[in-house]
Amino acid sequence: MNDRSKMRLSVPTGGEALVSSSGAHQLAPRSSSAIPPMQYLHRLSDLKQMDVQSAMDQMKQLLGTRPQSVYKTSYYRKQTKNHWARDDPAFGALQVLFLGIAAIAYSVAFRTTFAGFLSFFLYTVLNYLGLGWVLATLCREVANRNLVVHQSSTHVKQTVEWMYSFDIHCNSFFPVFMVLYVLQFFMLPIVLDEGLTALIVANTLYAVALSWYWYITHLGYRSLPFLQNTEVFLFPIAAFILLYIGMIVGYPFGLGWNAARVMARFYFM
Task: For 231-254, write each residue's pLDDT tens digit.
Answer: 999 999 999 999 999 999 999 998
The CA dihedral of 251, 253, 257, 258, to the nearest 10 degrees, is 30
Provide the pLDDT for residue 158: 86
CA 3 vs. chain centroid, Å, equals 47
pTM of the entire predicted model: 0.83
Here the contacts of 158-161 (C-beta below 8 Å, separation 24 or greater) are: 158/14, 158/16, 158/226, 160/84, 160/221, 160/224, 160/227, 161/34, 161/83, 161/84, 161/85
**In whole angstroms, what is the distance from residue 131 CA to residue 213 CA?**
13
Q: Which residues of the chain have pLDDT under 70?
A: 1-46, 151-156
The answer to whether 33 and 27 have CB atoms below 8 angstroms apart is no
Burial of 160 (0-12, 13-18, 19+ CB in 10 A): buried
Provide the pLDDT for residue 35: 61
* pLDDT, tens digit, 9 for 90 and up, residues 56-106: 999 999 999 999 999 988 888 888 888 898 888 899 999 999 999 999 999
